[in-house]
């Protein structure tokens, strides 16, 4: 039996040691204005919990898929220097990983937070990728409140789109920092009709309504993801009731950790196979699993990326073995293969000749495998 496989490791925490990777748990949905335990699965989500944990939990599905993110980092910046860096930088890194090339980031800060926030964003996006640095003045009975809106884009963006976005802010003032009309116009300029957009700015209901209105205007299929922190219970409930009158959506919260055990190196077998497939796909490709498929003819196949077929041989109640019998069942032709299983009986020479990289599933593999009774069905 081949005994020197690669072994998967938990996804590294993005900048903080106490941030655990939790897969998102479906709580309930709203369909036709009614609360239900069933899935809507139309792509619209409302989520509540730790902002960093939710952003991390979104990566296996939405990594490199989002076209727009609204992020508020004000509370993190008001903390001490160590806490600030442990919260602010990880969330900016996650936002960067969730955005696709050309995706745009909206970030809000007040005058006290502006300098540090701008510097932190530039670490990930680069100074040359700032679209707008907009200052807005709001007045109350005591004094003027200065707010800053920073807009950056990831990777490359067409010059015409950048110029049109910049023109949106030239010489203008708004009653609030992110009015729905402005967001809608930015979506129209910089995002596709199939864009997925995330709003994590508490108190600003400025993502869902523009998405729905713009879809009605141009027959688009844009989707919204709304993130509320744990302490926004009233806003969260009010937002649910309001959206229930407009569209259907699913509600999520951080669920169980992906890895268990003393060293957090064993796969959590209580999680649905679908979520394990999403995670493995993301770790190998850096992109979300949202566009992938399930093939009854090749049930362990996750998909093909850049000429590499990726497999996860996983059963809830049985260990899996990569052997000659399994190779004879493979239906997908690809230049290279990455295959996750509990154990492998193929020689190193065989793996090399078939262009296969075997990776051992990070789970308790002490159970015995009977190759004669080895099952190749995938339980979903």
Residue 1 domain-assigned? no
Same domain for 36 and 72: yes
122 shares its domain with 57: yes
Residues 63, 151 within the same domain: yes
- pLDDT tier, 365 (very low <50, low <70, confident <90, very high otherwise): very low
C-alpha span between 169 and 336 (Å, rounded): 49
Pick the last residue of a domain from 242, 257, 272: 257
The closest of 325, 323, 321 to 368, measured between CA atoms, is 321
> pTM (2 decimals)?
0.87
Task: For residues 327 and 331, give the distance between their C-alpha atoms in angstroms, rounded to a whole number.
Answer: 9
Q: 356 with 313, same domain? A: yes
H/E segment holding residue 163: helix 159-167
Give the span between the Cα atoms of 49 and 72, in whole angstroms: 15
Residue with tokens 């293969």: 337
Q: In the structure, what pLDDT confidence band is assigned to residue 184 with cuts at 50, 70 and 90?
A: confident
Task: Say what percent of the chain tops pLDDT 90.
Answer: 47
Calculate the CA 221 to chain-centre distance: 19
Same domain as 316, residue 348: yes
So what's the pLDDT on residue 168?
Answer: 77
Residues 65 and 107 occupy one common structural domain: yes
- Band the pLDDT of 14: cuts 50, 70, 90: very low
Of the candidates 190, 201, 134, the residue with the CA atom closest to the CA atom of residue 160: 190
Burial of 17: CB neighbours in 10 Å, binned 0-12, 13-18, 19+: exposed
For residue 313, being part of any structural domain is answered with yes
Residue whose C-alpha is closest to residue 150's, from 171, 172, 127, 173: 127
Residues 355-374 have a mean pLDDT of: 64
Q: Is 31 inside a domain boundary? A: yes
| 3-state SS class at 306 | coil
Kindly state whether residue 4 falls inside one of the protein's structural domains: no
Question: What is the reported pLDDT for 74?
Answer: 60
Which residue shows structure tokens 């807005």? 136
Residue 8 scores a pLDDT above 50: no
Same domain (yes/no): 350, 367? yes
141 torsion bin: left (phi>0), alpha (psi -120 to 50), beta (else): alpha
* More confident position, 316 or 9: 316
76-80, 125-129, 174-178, 269-273: lowest mean pLDDT where? 76-80
Task: Provide the domain limits for residue 281.
Answer: 261-373
Q: How confident is the model at residue 267 (pLDDT cuts 50, 70, 90)?
A: confident
pLDDT at 62 over 70: yes
pLDDT tops 90 at residue 98: yes
367 pLDDT above the threshold of 80:
no
Predicted local confidence at residue 227, as pLDDT: 93
Q: Are 335 and 308 contacting, i.e. CB atoms less than 8 angstroms apart?
A: yes
> What is the SS3 assignment for 260?
strand
Q: Name the one residue in this structure whose structure tokens are 């090339």.
A: 101
Whether residue 237 is found in the same domain as residue 265: no
pLDDT of residue 250: 97
- Candidate ranges 137-141, 292-296, 325-329; pick with highest mean pLDDT: 325-329
- State how far the Cα of 87 lies from the Cα of 92, in Å rounded to an integer: 9
Q: State whether 57 and 101 are in the same domain.
A: yes
What pLDDT score was predicted for residue 372? 42
* Final residue of a structural domain among 241, 257, 273: 257
Q: How far is 71 from 86, CA to CA, in rounded Å?
A: 16
Q: Total domain count for the chain?
A: 2
Per-residue pLDDT, 3: 42
Percent of the chain clearing pLDDT 70 (strictly above)? 80
């Amino acid at each position: 039996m081949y005994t020197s496989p690669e072994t998967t490791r938990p996804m590294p925490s993005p900048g903080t040691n106490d941030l655990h990777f939790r897969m998102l748990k479906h709580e309930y949905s709203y369909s036709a204005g009614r609360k239900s335990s069933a899935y809507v699965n139309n792509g619209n989500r409302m989520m509540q919990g730790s902002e960093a944990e939710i952003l991390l939990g979104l990566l296996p599905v939405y990594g490199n898929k989002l076209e727009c993110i609204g992020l508020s980092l004000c509370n993190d910046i008001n903390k001490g220097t160590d806490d600030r860096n442990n919260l602010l930088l990880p969330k900016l890194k996650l936002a960067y990983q969730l955005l696709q090339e050309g995706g745009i980031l909206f970030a809000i800060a007040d005058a006290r937070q502006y300098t540090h926030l701008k510097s932190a964003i530039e670490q990930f996006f680069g100074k040359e990728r700032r679209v707008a640095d907009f200052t807005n003045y709001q007045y109350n009975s005591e004094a003027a409140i200065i707010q800053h809106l920073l807009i950056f884009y990831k990777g490359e963006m067409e010059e015409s789109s950048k110029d049109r976005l910049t023109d949106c802010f030239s010489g203008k003032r708004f009653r609030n920092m992110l009015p729905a009309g402005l967001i809608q116009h930015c979506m129209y300029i910089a995002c596709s009709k199939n864009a997925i957009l995330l709003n994590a700015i508490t108190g600003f209901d400025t993502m869902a309504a523009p998405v729905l209105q713009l879809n009605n205007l141009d027959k688009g299929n844009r989707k919204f993801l709304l993130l509320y922190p744990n302490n926004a219970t009233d806003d969260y409930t009010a937002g649910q009731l309001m959206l229930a009158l407009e569209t259907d959506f699913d509600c999520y919260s951080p669920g169980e950790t992906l890895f268990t055990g003393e060293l957090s190196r064993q796969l959590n077998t209580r999680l649905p196979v679908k979520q394990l497939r999403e995670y493995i796909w993301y770790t190998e490709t850096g992109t979300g699993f949202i566009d992938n498929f399930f093939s009854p003819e090749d049930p362990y196949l996750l998909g093909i990326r850049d000429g590499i077929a990726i497999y996860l041989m996983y059963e809830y109640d049985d260990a899996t073995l990569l052997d000659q019998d399994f190779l004879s069942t493979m239906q997908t032709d690809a230049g290279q293969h990455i295959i996750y299983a509990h154990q492998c009986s193929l020689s190193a020479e065989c793996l090399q000749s078939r262009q296969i990289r075997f990776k051992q599933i990070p789970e308790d593999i002490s159970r015995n495998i009977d190759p004669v009774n080895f099952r190749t069905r995938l339980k979903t």
